[in-house]
Amino acid sequence: MRRRFLPLLAICLAGCAPRQGGLPFTVSWTEGRCVGCQVAENLEGVRFLSRKEAWGIGFGYPPGPPSAGNYILVHTTDGGRTWKELAQTTQYAGPPSFWFADSTHGWFGCWNVPCAVAETKLFRTSDAGEHWEREPRLARTQT
């Protein structure tokens, strides 16, 4: 299924030269699409590492009665024109937390799917989200 995100406000965060008498960044609107996405219909929490590369949270609501929705991490390497969902990062009823140190190393934390209910887990990747490994030292179980 082909999904189009609402226009994304793309802000130049890296490599932008300050304009004389103006703001140190440029702003433009880009309509993006999520290629092959199953969950992501909308986009939030975008974090750019460069003009081209960013991660964000895609979310959507399943058909049927109103529900809390599903969330998944998404990634772009072309400035937001196309996005792809990152496998094994789905969470129900609230967005996962995430952070990327660079183009390949990142972490995401969740508290339900794929996590067990009432358990917080942290996952890490060293290949730009292609594979995720649980970080057992930082997991915490609720009692």
Q: What does each C-alpha distance from 64 to 60, 68, 93, 110, 131 come to in angstroms?
A: 12, 12, 15, 25, 32
Number of domains observed in the structure of the chain: 1
What's the CA angle centered on 53, arms 51 and 54, to 5 degrees? 110
pTM of the model: 0.73
Residue burial 53-81, b: 16+ Cβ < 10 Å; e: rest: bbbbbbbbeeeeeeeebbbbbbbbeebbe
pLDDT one digit per residue (tens) for the chain, 143 residues: 445 554 444 443 434 444 455 566 666 667 889 999 999 999 999 999 998 999 999 999 887 777 788 999 999 999 999 999 998 898 888 888 999 999 999 999 887 655 555 567 889 999 999 999 988 765 455 44
